[in-house]
Amino acid sequence: MKKIINFIIVLAILFLVFQFGITFFKNKHTVEYNLKVNNEEVKIHEEYYKDKESDYYFFRLNIGDDAFVFDVDNSFNKQKKVISDIKLYKKDELVCISPIYIKNNNDAQIFCNVDNQQYSYTSIKDKYNLNEFIDTLDNFDASKYESNDNTNSSLGNSWVYKDNMYSNEILIIYEYNDLLKITKPSNERIDFADYDIYNNELGILIDKYYILPTFEDRPEYRGFTIINILNEEKEYLYFDNATSTNLYINGVVDNKLYLFDKSNLVQYEIDPEEKTYRITGNNSTGAQYYDGEWTTRNIYDFSRQELTFSKEFPLKDNYVEAFESDKYYYYYNSDNEFYKVYKKDLDNRIYLFKFDDMKEVNVVNNYIYFINNTTLYRYDDTGIKKLLTNKEFQYNYNNIYSAYFE
């Protein structure tokens, strides 16, 4: 009898180890379940996903005709059915929810629909009085949606809103013969030329490397300067044969820069990590074009116009410009309305904000940057915040800033 009991115990332990192994090594799951909230049926679609860079849950909740999409970082040990309850608020055309998870509810989130269209909380918080709903929530932090509009630092022509910057955020501002490196704790200059170069036509930040021509007093480029913006070290990459100054950027693929010399009909690839270059196109071979896949095109396609790499996105709305990140597509339309769409759900767009006269729009680490008038702004889930003001932005704003996160 004792042997049978021991055998059963061993089997139980092996089963638990097996179950733990399945849970530990699985990298995705999909599950559907329902909750009853205020006599309303809430249908929940839950997906868990993990790869080398991502580890998160994606949700789509349906309450009648209203759909809500959102995600949360994995803090549930890959468990299933991690939403245990929903706080629900309805008033006229407004429907808001706040999910309650099986644990780690230390920062309540609010997601809202107006007339069946999902809006970011920051886009409606000043249009609707949500205090009645917020009062029912535990651990909702209203302070993180506030912005500090006082500059408390300066460098060159720039005045910086340090309180609105992240601790791991680096801003690079092009200032004619040097770069301004601005972080929350410090401001620094990195020089790259002995004289002013007014238009920044070829400078570009790729990962942690800022690349720009090695400016010398001659009518050609002998090579490129590669600046590591973290340690501020400069290295020089010289070409075997100088290029003309009639260069333009085709694009960046896999952290490599592609440029075309219109005068000499040569395409170059620069790898800033390896500090190497190679010729990827010439008059006899054609040049390389990327639109999601590589193709070879006639060399004169690149010389007759400034041909830049592009990619079509599977968006259902017309857009002026679109951007892709790991989980999302971002885009804005001709009315300057900015939206976010999950790659996992192209049918439900999320209205983020509207800002007239946006210039130099970029998306970095799921943060939206743009210039308006003399100010550089950043949008994130806590709203639009000022980062830097520079009067020069009124006259020269093309390719004037870059952003990087350590």
Instruction: Give residue 10's pLDDT.
Output: 52
Q: Based on the domain organization, do 202 and 276 belong to the same domain?
A: yes
Inside any domain, residue 320:
no
SS3 content of the chain, % helix, strand, coil (to 5): 10, 50, 40
Residue that terminates a domain, selected from 310, 339, 368: 310
Residue that terminates a domain, selected from 258, 277, 310: 310
Q: Based on the domain organization, do 297 and 218 belong to the same domain?
A: yes
pLDDT in tens, 279-298: 999 999 999 999 999 999 99
Inside any domain, residue 118:
yes
Q: Based on the domain organization, do 131 and 208 belong to the same domain?
A: no
Inside any domain, residue 260:
yes
The mean per-residue pLDDT over the stretch 305-325 comes to 95
Burial tier of 229 (Cβ tally within 10 Å: 0-12, 13-18, 19+): buried
Q: What is the 3-state secondary structure (H, E, C) of 43-97?
A: EEEEEEEECCCCEEEEEEEEECCEEEEEEEECCCCCCCCCEEEEEEEEECCEEEE
- Which of these, 183, 160, 271, 163, lies nearest to 230 by C-alpha position? 183
Instruction: Give residue 155's pLDDT.
Output: 85
Instruction: Give residue 22's pLDDT.
Output: 45
Inside any domain, residue 70:
yes
- Which of these, 103, 80, 86, 87, lies nearest to 32 by C-alpha position? 80
Inside any domain, residue 30:
yes
Q: Based on the domain organization, do 133 and 227 belong to the same domain?
A: no
pTM here is: 0.90
Inside any domain, residue 340:
no
Say if CB 394 and CB 374 are below 8 A apart: yes
Tokens matching residue 320: 């002026």
pLDDT in tens, 348-400: 999 999 999 999 999 999 999 999 999 999 999 999 999 999 999 999 999 99
Q: Based on the domain organization, do 28 and 130 belong to the same domain?
A: yes
pLDDT in tens, 98-120: 999 999 999 999 999 999 999 99
Inside any domain, residue 130:
yes
Q: Based on the domain organization, do 139 and 51 belong to the same domain?
A: yes
- Give CA–CA dist 239/174, Å, rounded: 24
Number of domains composing the chain: 2
The mean per-residue pLDDT over the stretch 158-180 comes to 95
Inside any domain, residue 265:
yes
Residue 241 has pLDDT above 60, yes or no: yes
Instruction: Give residue 20's pLDDT.
Output: 47
Q: Based on the domain organization, do 116 and 199 belong to the same domain?
A: no
Structural domain boundaries enclosing 81: 24-145
Residue that terminates a domain, selected from 310, 340, 356: 310
Tokens matching residue 276: 């190497």
What confidence category does residue 154 fall into, taking pLDDT thresholds of 50, 70 and 90? confident
pLDDT in tens, 25-39: 568 999 999 999 999
Q: Based on the domain organization, do 138 and 243 belong to the same domain?
A: no
